[in-house]
Structure 1
């Protein structure tokens, strides 16, 4: 039997994965089980074998209180930091709406409506991409902090476990370098995408107002 109860196993495994930004596969690699088995552990469908409890304990001790004895977790970005594709559009900018002088020719409505349809579709696509990239950035930042914490934490004392732990840390570092080879470029790409989304939101808001009056 494991030294953890089933409920505490579920909580701790979920907390370990969240705190260190680990995928199911990465945690499975450390525990020495399949990814499917970790999924069963995380949902409570299976219990943790007693032989694996010490490995989970190595990680759980590094969790912030009250689950572990590690340092307090840094604050997570607010939910507002992730783009909400359903967020209300901004108020239309009056600049373009005022370009037509009073009494000037009324613009043909169909080009405005067609562009509005196209812009809405683009906004949906780019907005979803931005939200995905922002969520990924949060996860990768969590994983970077997790890897740094694991690298500086005391290693297991048993030689075989020490070697396993060291190999696993190497795998995590390799995964991180593969998933985010250039964090600064990724940050610039997110900002450029956010600027494009902001421009599309402003365009859609204005075109919607112009089209409603045409």
Structure 2
């Protein structure tokens, strides 16, 4: 059976229709093989994203899904930056002038976040690097928050502990956040921070259109309901 290239970050989507759109009937067969409904399968990976390697392995027995099949073998999602945000001159917020996040949410499906798989080569981002490379996210709950239902856990903790950031995202939008600059050796944009906010807002990382308009108030209402 033929296949097509699929971004392994699709496994971070909490929406069943995204999985079906990416994998078609193959994901239905995998769910049956694992004695789960599609909803249960999505929830299974949402509970612990590195478990996506099991799903990817079964999918790739049915078809070639490109990067998903590479991920099934290596346990590493290739390339972490997913949002393509235009360069825009924006007013700089001093609260965003430091390193907050230099890892995309896609790093959550890295097998090193699960119980150690010693057969794999060393990851670029093992658990002990999250504290250094994503200090804002790590502060929200450490490794446990990254391993166990990170979408629900982190979005709740973000609103509880860093409400100013959620409010700024709601008020100014994705492009504004992504074009904030922090400098250490060289200046970088806060694109990965924008990715986290989009994922925690929408439950999606792949195929999310980036617009210059401000985001809706949904993120606030959903988070305060506990996700």
RCO comparison, higher one (Cα < 8 Å, 6+): 1
Smaller-chain TM-score bracket: under 0.3
Answer 1 or 2: which has greater helix percent: 1
TM-score, normalised on structure 2?
Answer: 0.19
